[in-house]
């Protein structure tokens, strides 16, 4: 029986994925929920993150660059495919941990996770019946209405690619002032408000395009409550737990959850 929940942390480079995986793991530990962490970023140079299962034990960006005479970008793409070839080893290693939750840190370059076919194989291999995506909204982008909408579209793209339930997380909330934070949260709560904010920011004759885009977003990502978190202030982690639990422990997951064949 595969009862553990798997959470994939994704978002643009520098959004705070690695930091959040670390902070959330600590929070889960402190609250009596054993968790395991997986690093799927072959190029990470973080020295502070010590994941339980590390793709770099099998695939390392620097070695891929050397062995295949590739630059960093080419090596990232090659590595994304090499990871898929090693994913059953990763899974086996992960199965050695007793964990209620598996926190997966995805590659630093968002497009490698979102757009490579290999990522689907990776998610299929690692996911049990209970999986969820946590998409991080970086305040650097999310603080403007157009940046916020662009992130909503990226989130909808990942959701659409992986067909997994998603939670929207506003990372690094501590860098925002209270008024700015309220404004951003307001956009999530009220799409009409967001729409007019975008139109004020980018007055364009093509109102039609923008209106239709909002309709698509409403259909694709109707649930867009943003959860503000900060790893610096350790805030929002309890709300992240509640949101993922609602999905993993029933709620949305309930309709489709059947006992898996493996386990
Ligand atoms: N102020 C602040 N900075 C953060 C927070 N989380 C991450 N950072 C910083 O943002 C940068 C990118 O974080 P990282 O976790 O490596 O992002 P990743 O590329 O998505 O894995 C680093 O300099 C972190 O120290 C946060 O909650 N608040
Ligand atoms: Mg990272």
Of residues 178, 233, 162, the one with CA closest to residue 10: 162
How many angstroms separate the alpha carbon of residue 209 from the centre of ligand 2? 34
pLDDT given for residue 62 in this prediction: 92
pLDDT given for residue 2 in this prediction: 53
Q: How many CB atoms lie within 10 A of CB 161?
A: 17
Q: Using 50, 70 and 90 to split pLDDT, how confident is the model at 1? A: very low
* Minimum CA distance residue for ligand 1 atom 9: 16
How many angstroms separate the alpha carbon of residue 258 from the centre of ligand 2? 33
pLDDT given for residue 251 in this prediction: 47
User: What's the pLDDT tens digit per position in 83-123?
Assistant: 999 999 999 999 999 999 999 999 878 888 888 888 888 99
CA 21 – CA 51 distance, rounded (Å)? 9
Query: Domains (ranges, CATH) in the chain?
Result: 5-143+162-173+224-250 (3.40.50.300)
Q: Which two tokens stand for residue 42?
A: 């072959």
How many angstroms separate the alpha carbon of residue 250 from the centre of ligand 2? 29
Q: Which atom of ligand 1 is nearest to the CA of 12?
A: 20
> For residue 247, is pLDDT > 50?
yes
Q: Who lines ligand 1 at CB under 6 A?
A: 11, 13-19, 108, 171-172, 174-175, 230-232
Burial category of 71 from C-beta neighbours within 10 Å (exposed 0-12, middle 13-18, buried 19 and up): exposed
pLDDT given for residue 79 in this prediction: 92
8 A C-beta contact, residue 109 and residue 61:
no
């Amino acid at each position: 029986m595969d009862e553990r929940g798997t959470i994939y942390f994704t978002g643009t480079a520098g959004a705070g994925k690695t930091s959040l995986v670390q902070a959330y793991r600590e929070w889960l530990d402190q609250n009596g929920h054993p968790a395991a962490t997986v690093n799927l970023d072959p190029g990470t140079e973080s020295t502070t993150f010590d994941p339980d299962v590390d793709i770099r034990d099998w695939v390392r960006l620097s070695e891929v660059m050397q062995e295949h005479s590739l630059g960093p970008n080419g090596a990232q793409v090659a590595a994304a495919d090499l990871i898929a070839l090693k994913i059953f080893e990763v899974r086996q290693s992960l199965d050695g941990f007793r964990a209620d939750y598996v926190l997966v840190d995805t590659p630093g370059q968002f497009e490698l996770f979102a757009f490579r076919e290999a990522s689907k194989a990776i998610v299929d291999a690692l996911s049990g019946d209970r999986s969820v995506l946590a998409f991080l909204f970086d305040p650097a982008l999310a603080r403007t209405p157009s940046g916020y909408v662009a992130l909503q579209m990226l989130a909808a793209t990942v959701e659409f690619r992986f067909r997994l339930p998603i939670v929207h997380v506003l990372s690094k909330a501590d860098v925002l002032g209270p008024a700015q934070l309220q404004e951003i949260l307001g956009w999530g709560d009220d799409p009409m408000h967001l729409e007019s904010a975008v139109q004020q920011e980018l007055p364009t004759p093509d109102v039609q395009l923008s209106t239709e885009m909002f309709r698509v977003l409403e259909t694709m990502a109707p649930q867009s409550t943003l959860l503000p978190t900060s790893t610096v202030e350790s805030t929002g982690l309890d709300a992240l737990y509640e949101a993922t639990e609602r999905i993993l422990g029933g709620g949305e997951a309930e309709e489709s959850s059947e006992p898996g064949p493996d386990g």
